[in-house]
Structure 1
């Protein structure tokens, strides 16, 4: 990620969007029309695909109204009216297009009104040949819409109802949450405490995600008649929606199923809690299936990675204590950092492993020897270890990897040994069959499968993300991080 522009908020408001973004748009026009000539004489042209941001930033750049709590037209994807949304939460207005955008702008200029259908001004990025904010070109951010929006406000509502039904108390919930033994990845984002006086979760986006994922493991045994409890079932429905939306790979069939799930969720939420009004972010969920078809998996476009990038600038501003021409100072410090990073390897090695030992197949039992016999690597150059990082993802002994997804359940492999051969990684895994429990929404281990050892290459996994099993209720349970491609 490279730095393009820095501007103070007060300057942005004073000079306006057109002047601030003018230099960037001129560069993008050159890239579209003339391109860049490589040393081989090849001309490479490019164009803007999408502008990632939270709702406030996207509406500011796109020329839409930024008052989500009171504006009549609050959606940048359709022309839904607030009254229609409150009357029928599943209603969507006419989908916005470049033509309707231009028509609304023309009406706004001719009538000299502040806005028409939620549009205040023409976005400067619409000057580009292959981009328009209504293509759509302003994707949603899962972190803000889901984890700091729908989940942050809906989950406390459901938990309060479960407490009132005497399933548990807030003290018991917080005690169970704090005493829960979080595994490797989940331990980095332990959920924040819940308060009976707060209508919103106090944690950040990933903490709220972690709480929703692991809630069945933390208090699932305390729910009375889980299959008949409507509030508990709507929590499980929300978990399934999040699993599908956060999937890095999703099929068209899953997108269609997601659309049905979202409509059912909003309908159930309205019926169960009619006095708790829905928010605009609930409406944005209705557009997610269409947006996934347009942009692909939305997890690739959320802004949390950019928020992490912003921490460098925030730390510099706090530590330098020099606020004269702050943008120039931050830009210089950032470019010095980029130069330092470019001096060495810009990217870390694809495979990083702990110090292992030379792999001698005769040192292992018959099941491991049989599993590696069919693998095409040279045993002389293999190294055995218990921990490896592949493209930033940590794999440890004892974690589970997906081998097969079928109608009967998930065939998972418990990592018993990691074998590294140059830049290739193989996992010797023990096969386990997991089935989904309808009362908690998690997967339960049925035991070791027949022909129980397999050696598989990391690149051949059905899903890259390793999962940890939790021993709860005398069972080995797994809470999915995201959905997998459906069985063929």
Structure 2
């Protein structure tokens, strides 16, 4: 596990190393986002042994539940499937882990009714509260002052955010590039130049284009080599992925020069999409990406490329 290399996007949520004392006490010391990242990548991290785990079926059922719960929008016809999965998970926990039946295992059977009454569960989660709360937990430990932590959370932290946001140049513009530099014509091969000429009609490759390493557009971060969902196939709503080759600017507008990846299949064992590149390049406006905004990383398993994310996407 310590040798596993997290991707650039997942590295910010990389959990700390598991210690022997944690395994002995059946706990994992990590934040909620770190646990979710570890849970999502669990089959990829331990891809060589997961088939040997008799209880791996419990993970697969829970993974389907998480993918549905984190979906937004959420189709009403998924409620029946979600209810059956939650009941199956509850039964499997009783069968495989009867000593680990916490209240949350029982509460999971209420998701069907909660989503039916109040809409997608992801709209009600408390990840942002957990993120803010972790900041104060560090302060309370260092200062040994544990008084009125919730009050500080709703007052002092919001004042800190206002001060921070007031001095951030990125919030004064919808687009915030990082690492801008000129593009040389040698950066493009003949096929890439043809695509740019077809899109812009006329272009001077040595003077008209700039590039950046990272672009924050609409509070979404785009990085070179990052993968994003650019659409869904209408027939079966299979995601279409694209990897960013370059982030270029012409006439004060930023464009994503991407390689559209071929989605081979969904690997049930790894709970991830297998993809491969066919060198099919195109230009995309970052404002047109509406299905799944977070950048994704590519992981190599047995010389094959996979992308993992926790959500079920839909066109409607």
Q: Do they superpose with TM above 0.5?
A: yes
Any idea what SS the aligned residue of 2:293 has? coil
- Pick aligned residue for 1:279 from 86, 102, 124: 102
Tell me, yes or no, if the aligned pair for 2:132 and 2:153 is still in contact at 8 Å: no
TM-score by length of 1: 0.53
TM-score by length of 2: 0.77
- The match for 1:298 is 121
1:13-92 paired onto structure 2 within 5 Å: none
Cα distance in 1 for partners of 2:288, 2:256 equals 11
- The match for 1:453 is 281
**Are 1:357 and 2:186 an aligned pair?**
no
Any idea what SS the aligned residue of 1:179 has? coil
Cα distance in 2 for partners of 1:446, 1:287 equals 39
Seen in structure 2, the aligned counterparts of structure 1 residues 290 and 378 have a Cα distance that, compared at 3 Å, is farther
Tell me, yes or no, if the aligned pair for 1:382 and 1:421 is still in contact at 8 Å: yes
- The match for 1:393 is 220
Cα distance in 2 for partners of 1:411, 1:368 equals 21
- The match for 1:479 is 308
In the TM superposition, residue 318 of structure 1 has moved relative to its aligned partner by 6.6
Cα distance in 2 for partners of 1:456, 1:336 equals 37
1:198-237 paired onto structure 2 within 5 Å: 198-224=25-51, 230-237=54-61
In the TM superposition, residue 180 of structure 1 has moved relative to its aligned partner by 0.5
- Pick aligned residue for 2:293 from 456, 461, 464: 464
- Pick aligned residue for 1:442 from 272, 286, 290: 272
Tell me, yes or no, if the aligned pair for 1:419 and 1:426 is still in contact at 8 Å: yes
Bigger Rg, structure 1 or 2: 1
In the TM superposition, residue 416 of structure 1 has moved relative to its aligned partner by 0.7
1:125-140 paired onto structure 2 within 5 Å: none
CA displacement 1:266-315 (0-9 Å, x = unmatched): 22322334x33633212322222332344333223322312333456556
CA RMSD between the two structures? 3.9
Seen in structure 2, the aligned counterparts of structure 1 residues 230 and 423 have a Cα distance that, compared at 3 Å, is farther
Which consecutive residues of structure 2, in runs of 5 or more, have no partner in the other structure?
Answer: none
Any idea what SS the aligned residue of 1:484 has? coil
Higher relative contact order structure (alpha carbons within 8 Å, sequence separation ≥ 6): 2
Seen in structure 2, the aligned counterparts of structure 1 residues 367 and 300 have a Cα distance that, compared at 3 Å, is farther
- Pick aligned residue for 1:189 from 10, 13, 29: 13
Tell me, yes or no, if the aligned pair for 1:432 and 1:448 is still in contact at 8 Å: yes
Cα distance in 1 for partners of 2:214, 2:223 equals 5
Seen in structure 2, the aligned counterparts of structure 1 residues 355 and 270 have a Cα distance that, compared at 3 Å, is same
In the TM superposition, residue 457 of structure 1 has moved relative to its aligned partner by 1.5
CA displacement 1:38-68 (0-9 Å, x = unmatched): xxxxxxxxxxxxxxxxxxxxxxxxxxxxxxx
Cα distance in 2 for partners of 1:445, 1:342 equals 38
In the TM superposition, residue 471 of structure 1 has moved relative to its aligned partner by 1.6
Seen in structure 2, the aligned counterparts of structure 1 residues 420 and 222 have a Cα distance that, compared at 3 Å, is same
Which consecutive residues of structure 1, in runs of 5 or more, have no partner in the other structure?
Answer: 1-176
In the TM superposition, residue 232 of structure 1 has moved relative to its aligned partner by 1.6
Any idea what SS the aligned residue of 2:314 has? coil
Seen in structure 2, the aligned counterparts of structure 1 residues 333 and 372 have a Cα distance that, compared at 3 Å, is same
Tell me, yes or no, if the aligned pair for 1:358 and 1:383 is still in contact at 8 Å: yes
Cα distance in 2 for partners of 1:268, 1:327 equals 37
* Bigger share in strand: 2
Aligned length: 305
Any idea what SS the aligned residue of 1:464 has? strand
Greater Cα shift, 194-203 or 462-471: 194-203
**Are 1:242 and 2:242 an aligned pair?**
no
- The match for 1:144 is none
- The match for 2:261 is 432
CA displacement 1:211-249 (0-9 Å, x = unmatched): 211111111122446xxx652222122122222222343
